[in-house]
Structure 1
Amino acid sequence: DTIFGNDGDDTIQGDAGGDWLYGHAGADTMNGNDGNDHLYGHNNPDTLYGDAGDDVLYGNDGDDVLYGGAGDDELRGHAHNDTLHGGTGADTLYGGAGDDTLTGGTGDDALYGGTGSDVMVFAAGWGTDTVHGFANGQDVFDLSALGITFADLTITDVGGDTHISYGADTIIVTGVSSALIDASDFIF
């Protein structure tokens, strides 16, 4: 199905197949439901739910909230201060411009904060996530859900990247030396 919203605040529901949902002006709420869906927000803050399937979600303008759900999803916040939740699966999250909050969820995810001061959120069982474009002194890792301290982490250099590990879970920070990572880069 292909469904277009109008100028107001719309609620748009997909179906069991691969849907293409387009918001318009207004604060829209879209749910792809089952299938491999494409959801496109527009102006104003939109809320997009991919649900089951390998979905692609674009927030575009506004402070958007995107939920990938189950499957291997791609979430793109674009402009403004967006909140992206990958859910389960191997997800790819792009914050874009603005101060974004990215939560990969379970599965091995790729997180790209983009410009702005971004927060990468991790909870128990996150897997092995890769953070690209980490701006030291600007972006932070939020590990507050774990109830740990900086001393509980193992931080090593591996091939020009920093590996931050806790138990069986690892954050790979590409292109950043472990010498640059300290407690100020975390929220506990």
Structure 2
Amino acid sequence: MKQELKWIKAIKKRSSESAANQLIAKYYKEMYGFIYKQTIDQELAKDITQEIFISALKTIHLFNGKASFRTWLYKIANSRLIDYYRSKSYKQSQKTDVMDEVEIRTEESFTIKLEQKEEVDQVLQILAQFDQQNQYILRLKIFGEYTFAEIAEITNLTESTVKTKYYATIRKLKQLLKEGAFHAKFK
């Protein structure tokens, strides 16, 4: 933590490239994993992860240390994911769904991977309709693997409020997924 603060200070004062590289190296895999779990697309996850760090470095002067740098990165990551799932490029990719670049090892593994991606996409499409705070709580819990206590600290909410919002969002998400599955059968 002390080293991390030294890097941040060096970036703020001297625009230290070395400190920026070390800070990025410390969190890159974690941020990439967080994004990949929600996109199931390596290239897209790399692109969004890169955007997270570009944004973090451009706005590092706004980082005040009230929350940890890690927490601050997750807030940026959540914003980037919300932006992506609301973007025209995401909506267009859902319509065209080009499969040219998919590497097919076996028909069975390809089918399983495709089904998983479709399920994650469906969940994330529905999740994008929720307010940002509920999305953030759900993403931190499921994809970031944070505890309720950690999420409460990050969001400045009580732990019971976080739990209530999380479970209410899960219930609503399940309901919407069920309705979607029901409607899909009759379309």
Larger strand share, 1 or 2: 1
Range into which the TM-score falls when normalised by the shorter chain: under 0.3
TM-score of the superposition, structure 1-length normalised? 0.23
TM-score of the superposition, structure 2-length normalised? 0.23
Q: Which has the larger radius of gyration?
A: 2
